[in-house]
Amino acid sequence: MFSNKGVKAALLVSGIVLSSLAMPALADQKFVATQDGSPLNIDPKLFDTPAAKEFLQTGKNPYIGNAEAAARGKKIFQLYSCTQCHGPDAKGQVGPGLLGPTFRYPKDATNKGMFETIWHGTNGGMGAKGLGLMDPTDPTNGLKPDEVLKVIAWIRSHGGVTGNE
């Protein structure tokens, strides 16, 4: 079976041009743990908003530049005590700064990478914040993908890195 990229490349080489509507959607993102690169199996049903669905398909955060989403992300950042380690403006405190352009985990320069780090935690002491991972005794505790994207939008609103580059 060919990938969409392979099929498109083969058609372009042969002189056939298809509109993007003629091709099926790209496969969903494959997520990996920041700790060791092992696969993260996140239930696609959790991506239950248009923005989360778009992110699942593209790896791009549609909330970047959205002031309302960033304001909600700031509240979530505060509610989940992210400020205790990363500081009130995500510039770092006990934990690392999150603004870039350099990151403790280089993958955090992308929104997909930062999503994975927030969702599943790190080797450096940050626990998982993803729904069902944050508190293994309570599968309803933790952030949903849409909330993680809003937190990322707030973080990105402070620095020069959008993560969608």
CA 22 to CA 56: how far, in whole Å? Answer: 20
CA 35 to CA 55: how far, in whole Å? Answer: 22
In the prediction, which pLDDT does 27 show?
A: 57
In the prediction, which pLDDT does 141 show?
A: 93
pLDDT at residue 136 greater than cutoff 90: no
In the prediction, which pLDDT does 124 show?
A: 80
Residue 107 lies in a domain: yes
Condensed to tens digits (0 to 9), the pLDDT of residues 145-158 reads 999 999 999 999 99
Give the residue from 117, 147, 158 showing the smallest Cα distance to 35.
117
- In sequence order, which residues have a C-beta less than 8 Å from that of residue 123 and are 6 or more positions away? 34, 35
CA 39 to CA 28: how far, in whole Å? Answer: 13
Residue 34 lies in a domain: yes
Q: Burial letters for 32-63: b for 16+ Cβ neighbours within 10 Å, e otherwise?
A: bbbeeeeebebeeebbeeebbbbbbebbbbbb
Q: Which domain holds residue 58?
A: 28-156
Residue 165 lies in a domain: no
In the prediction, which pLDDT does 15 show?
A: 40
- Look up the pTM and report it: 0.83
pLDDT at residue 113 greater than cutoff 60: yes
pLDDT at residue 13 greater than cutoff 60: no
Most confident of the ranges 2-6, 81-85, 114-118: 114-118
| Residue type, position 79, single letter | L
Residue 41 lies in a domain: yes
Structure-block tokens of residue 85? 């380690």
The domain that contains 139 carries what CATH number? Answer: 1.10.760.10
Q: Domains in the chain: how many in total?
A: 1
Residue 23 lies in a domain: no
For the residues of the chain, what is the DSSP string, one character each? ---HHHHHHHHHHTT----GGGSPPPPPPPEE-TTT--EE---GGG--SHHHHHHHHHS--TTTT-HHHHHHHHHHHHHTTTHHHH-TTSS-SSSPP-S-SS-SSGGGGSHHHHHHHHHH--TTSPPP-BTTTS-TT-TT-SB-HHHHHHHHHHHHTTSS--S--
